[in-house]
Amino acid sequence: MRTCPGRILRYNASGAPAAAVAAARNGKAREKTLTMETLNPQVKAVEYAVRGPIVIKAGEIERILQEGGKKPFTEVIKANIGDAHAMGQQPITFLRQVVALCTFPELLDSPSFPEDAKRRAQRILQGCGGRSLGSYSASQGVDCIRQDIAAYIEQRDQGVPSNWENIFLTTGASDGISILRLLVSGEGRARTGVMIPIPQYPLYSAAIAELGAVQVNYYLDEDNCWALDVHELHRAYQAAKQHCQPRVLCIINPGNPTGQVQSKKCIEDVLHFAYEENLFVMADEVYQENVYAPDCEFHSFKKVLYEMGPEYFNSVELASFHSTSKGYTGECGFRGGFMEIVNLDPEVKAQLVKLLSVRLCPPVAGQAAMDVIVNPPQPDEPSFAQFHKEKASVLGALADKAKLTEQILSAVPGIKCNPVQGAMYAFPQIFIPPRAVEEAKALGMQPDMLYCLRLLEETGICVVPGSGFGQREGTYHFRMTILPSPEKLKVLLEKVRDFHINFYA
C-alpha cells in the first residue's frame, strides 16, 4: 500500500543505537509516521460541510475584523450551524436550574431555587453513583432518566408502549448514529449499503465513509416540498443491489436540511418498504418539537409502526434519535441525547452495550438536561408557567422566522425556496448563471461553493453550499439556519437577496 523506501532503510537500522541512526541520516529530518500518504483512507474520505472550508474561511474573516481589518461589513453572521444559543437564544431557566443543582448540590438548600427543580435534581442524583454527577453512569445512561424517557415516549405516542431498557442515552444524537457501526459488514457486493436521503445531513455520509460502507442515495422531491416518494426508495434500492447489500435506511424527519415534515402516509409507505426489504430503519427525529407549518404534524416512526399492526411492530428494527441540542432548548454544548431501539436482537443488544461500555458513559450533565426535556414542570408545579412561557416564546419565534425566510427568499428572482415546515433550516435552490459555473469549474470548485464564498466575502453571511448535503446534478442550493434574531435574520435575508440579484446579473 505504501512506497516509502527511506522508511524501509530505517527498519534495517533498527536495534542500532539512536545516535548512530541519527548520524546515518546525515542531518536529514526524520520522516513522519503519519502523513497524508499513510493516513487511514477512510478518514480521508470523510467530509463534513457544516464545519467545512467555508466555516474556516468565516473564522479567518472574523479574526481580520477583530484585528481592525476592513471588510464591506462589520460582523460575520454564522447561519451555517444549528447552534441556537450562539445566535442569542436564551436557555430554558428550569433546565439550567436543575443541571446547576445537580452540579453543586449545596444549592439544594438555597431558597432562590424552586422546589420542582430541586425535586428533579434530587431524583437524578439518587440515580447517580455516590449521588454525584461526577460518577460514571451505566453505559446506557442513568436508569431513572431512561425510565423518564420511556414515559415521555409513551405519552408522545399516545400510549404506544416504550420499554426503558431499550433507551440508550448518547453524547448528542451524532453519537447515537454511530450504532451504524454494528451494521457494516461484508465485502464487495455483500458490503452493507446505507440508504440516505439527498439532500442529507452530512453526519450520515461522514459515518458511512469512515466505516467504509456503501452510500446509497435516494432523492427527495424538491418539486413536492422535499417529500419522500417511496417509488424513489424502490428505485435506489434496486439500483444499489447490483453492487452492494442495502441493509439500513436512514430517515431525517423533520428534514435537515430540507425543513420538510413527513406525512403519516409517507411514513407508512417507508415502513412498508423497510419491512419488505428487511432494512434496519434509523429515524433521525431530533427536530420532533420543531414543526411550524399549521398543516403539518410530527408522527414518530415508532407510533406509525405500531399502528400498522403487530406483524410490523414486532419485527421492523428501528432506532430513533433525539437530542437536547434542538427543539426549544438548543442545548448543543451539553451533548445530551438518546436513542430508542426496538426489535433489536437480544444478543446484538448485548453487543451494543459492550461497545458503548468502552466509552464508559455519556456526559451525565447532558443526561440531566435530557431528563428535564422529557420530564418538564407539570401544571401543579411552581415552574410550570415560566417554563411554558419560555418554550412557547422560542417555538413561536422560530415559526415566525421560518415564514419570514420562505417569504423573502421565494420572492427573489432566481431563488426557489420551499416552505420551512419544520427543523431549523431553509435549503433554497439558487440559479447560478453558466458563466459563474464555468468560473467555478476553472477554480476546481463546486459552483455553489463559489457562490457561498462570494456571499461570505461580500456580506459576512456564512451559509453552507448545497454540495455538502447532496443535490441533483445541475442544481445548486445552500443551507442556512433560521436561528438569528428576527431583526438580524431580516437583514441577512435582504442581504442574500441583494447579493443574489447582483450575482445573477
Ramachandran sector of residue 23 (left: φ over 0; alpha: ψ -120 to 50; beta: rest):
alpha
Q: Is 50 in the site for its own copies (CB under 8 A)?
A: yes
The reply to whether 38 sits near its own copies by the rule CB under 8 A is: yes
Task: List the one residue from 227, 282, 305, 364 that touches its own copies (CB under 8 A).
Answer: 364
> What character string, x for contact with its own copies (CB under 8 A) and - otherwise, covers 198-217?
----xx--xx--x-------
Please list every residue from 329 through 358 that binds its own copies, using CB under 8 A: 329-335, 343-345, 347-348, 351, 354-355, 357-358
Binding residues for its own copies restricted to 234-293, rule: CB under 8 A: 234, 237-238, 241, 247-248, 272-273, 275-280
User: Which set of grid coordinates corresponds to residue 196?
Assistant: 440516505
CB nearer its own copies, residue 33 or residue 74: 33
The residue range among 8-16, 370-378, 428-436, 458-466 that interacts with its own copies, by the rule CB under 8 A, is: 8-16
Question: CB under 8 Å to 145, separation ≥6 — which residues?
Answer: 124, 127, 169, 367, 368, 370, 371, 374
Question: Whole-number minimum distance, CB 49 to its own copies, in Å?
Answer: 10
Instruction: Return the bridge partners of 219, or none.
Output: 198
Binding residue (CB under 8 A) for its own copies from 153, 240, 361, 374:
361
Judged by beta carbon, residue 234 or residue 454, the one nearer its own copies is 234
Instruction: For residue 209, count other CB atoms closer than 10 A to its CB.
Output: 19
Binding flag, residue 370, its own copies (CB under 8 A): no
User: Which phi and psi angles does 33 have, rounded to 5°?
Assistant: -75, -40
Cα–Cα distances (Å) from 458 to 461, 490, 498, in that order, read 8, 17, 11
What value, to the nearest 5°, has the Cα angle with vertex 190 and ends 44 and 215? 40
- In the complex, the smallest distance separating the C-beta of residue 56 from its own copies, rounded to whole angstroms, is 9
| 110 is a site residue for its own copies (CB under 8 A) | yes
Q: Considering the rule CB under 8 A, would residue 148 count as an interface residue with its own copies?
A: no
| 482 contacts its own copies (rule: CB under 8 A) | no
3-class SS letters over 6-65: HHHHHHHCCCCCHHHHHHHCCCCCCCCCCCCCCCCHHHHCCCCHHHCHHHHHHHHHHHHH
Interface with its own copies, residue 63, by CB under 8 A: no
- Choices 9-17, 370-378, 384-392, 411-419; region in contact with its own copies by CB under 8 A: 9-17
For 138, residues 6+ apart whose C-beta sits below 8 A from its C-beta are 361
Q: Which residues of 110-136 are buried (b: 16+ CB within 10 A; e: fewer)?
A: eeebbebbbebbbbbbebbeeeebeee
For residues 361-398, one letter each, b for 16 or more C-beta atoms within 10 angstroms of the residue's C-beta and e for the rest, the string is bbbbbbbbbbbbbbbbbeeebebbeebeebbeebbebb
- Residue 235 or 441: the one with the smaller Cβ distance to its own copies is 235
The amino acid occupying position 73 is F
Nearer to its own copies, 321 or 499 (CB): 321
Nearest distance in Å: CB 450, its own copies: 21
Binding of its own copies by 172 (CB under 8 A): yes
Q: Rounded to the nearest whole angstrom, what is the least distance from the CB of residue 464 to its own copies in the complex?
A: 12
Q: Does 87 interact with its own copies (rule: CB under 8 A)? A: yes
Beta strands in 346-426 (DSSP E): 415-416, 425-426
By CB under 8 A, name the one of 366, 377, 465, 484 that touches its own copies.
366
Instruction: Establish if 47 lies at the interface with its own copies (CB under 8 A).
Output: yes
Cβ proximity to its own copies, 205 vs 418, nearer residue: 205
Angle at 419 between CA 415 and CA 421, to 5 degrees: 150
502 binds its own copies (CB under 8 A): no
Q: Does 485 bind its own copies (CB under 8 A)?
A: no
Nearer to its own copies, 196 or 436 (CB): 196
For residue 465, give Cα distances in angstroms to 11, 260, 312, 352, 376. 46, 19, 39, 35, 37
Q: Does 156 bind its own copies (CB under 8 A)?
A: no
Q: Could you tell me which stretch among 98-106, 291-299, 432-440, 468-476 binds its own copies (CB under 8 A)? A: 98-106
Residues 28 and 48: their CA atoms lie apart, in Å, by 37
Q: If binding is defined by CB under 8 A, does position 126 make contact with its own copies?
A: no
Return the range that interacts with its own copies (CB under 8 A); candidates 40-48, 158-166, 376-384, 435-443: 40-48
326 contacts 89 by C-beta, under 8 angstroms: no
| CA end-to-end distance (rounded Å), the chain | 50
Name which of 351 and 378 has its Cβ closer to its own copies: 351
Cβ of residue 168: shortest distance to its own copies, in angstroms? 14
Note whether 111 binds its own copies by CB under 8 A. Answer: no
